[in-house]
Amino acid sequence: MTSRRSFLAGACCMIPTWPALAASHPASFICATSDEDETSLDGTTTETPADSQIPRVSGTVTRFPRVGATLDPQSLWTELDGATPQSGVITLAICFLNGTRAQRDLVRRVAPEWTRGPLGKRVSFRFDAPRKGSHVRVLFRGGKGNVSEVGRKSLSVPESRHTMNLDDIDRRGILHEFGHVLGLRHEHQNPGSGIVWNKPVVIAALKARGWSKAKVEDNIFKRFSKDCACLGDPTADPKSVMLYPFPREWTLNGFSSHLNQNISPRDRSCLVREYRA
């Protein structure tokens, strides 16, 4: 749907368990970018690493920097894109292509969490829009994972096709995918993330899930350019709802992350700045 270079990362999620985490965590999931028919990483853990976490690695102390959000500036919506141009508000029309009443109601209830506060002065969601003229077309289809186009990249998708699929229909998954709708990228690829990967371990773990080395490089190790860092807050956010969980064994500097359930304050402040709310 989008080129590799421009993806914000949607997620194509299947539900396995990470071997290193299976004993203490019930489930994990692997997500794919929307421009591939394959997968990029997602998973579950139970808590968020503190900004002040100081792990010891090989007898040394590694301090992680206080860490903003990651977004694609080319994918930010403009006022003229919305359903109410010239109004000062970017109104995104959300079309449900299928789904039960309960599924639709959950999306209607959860997605607007993004527009609470100042961002709501600049961006709003209009649900139950017709397919024609819609910006986001949501398909509920099991077995295909969660996946979303990034921001206004969805304008390049024919109206005959969906721009988002929801498989795991829960609050966190909906928040994550609508973060992509607004232009946010996966946080582990932030140019200021500071993660030092244990590459052989990661490659071996994902090879067992059918990933090639090139795919791991592109979806895990690759970092985006500095223009993808948020205005005024260029470092990564360990509490972002856009961050994947990673076991400590996958890194060399003691970094680990967890499945964040909520929009972080820095997720919000990034979008407020970028949309000039």
Tell me whether residue 17 is in a domain: no
Provide the sign of the torsion angle of the four alpha carbons 269, 271, 272, 276, taken in this order. positive
Kindly report, residue by residue over 137-186, the tens digit of the pLDDT: 999 999 887 889 999 999 999 999 999 999 988 999 999 999 999 999 88
Instruction: Give the three-state DSSP class for 79.
Output: helix
* Those residues with Cβ within 8 angstroms of residue 95's Cβ, 6 or more apart along the chain or in another chain: 128, 129, 130, 131, 134, 136, 137, 138
CB 36 within 8 A of CB 4: yes
- Please give the residue range of the domain that contains residue 133: 75-167
Tell me whether residue 21 is in a domain: no
All residue ranges of the chain with pLDDT < 70 are 1-72, 225-234
Kindly report, residue by residue over 244-255, the tens digit of the pLDDT: 889 999 999 999
- What pLDDT was estimated at residue 6? 31
Q: Average per-residue pLDDT in the chain?
A: 76
Tell me whether residue 217 is in a domain: no
- What pLDDT was estimated at residue 27? 31
- What pLDDT was estimated at residue 211? 84
Instruction: Give the three-state DSSP class for 96.
Output: strand
Instruction: Note the helical H segments in the chain.
Output: 101-110, 171-181, 199-207, 213-216, 265-274
Tell me whether residue 244 is in a domain: no
Number of domains in the chain: 1
Tell me whether residue 222 is in a domain: no
Which residue matches tokens 């990673």? Answer: 246
Tell me whether residue 157 is in a domain: yes
Tell me whether residue 226 is in a domain: no
- What pLDDT was estimated at residue 258? 86
Beta strand 30-31 pairing with 40-41: antiparallel
Structure tokens at 145: 């994972």
Quote the pTM value: 0.73
Tell me whether residue 191 is in a domain: no
Residue 125 pairs with which residues in a beta bridge? 92
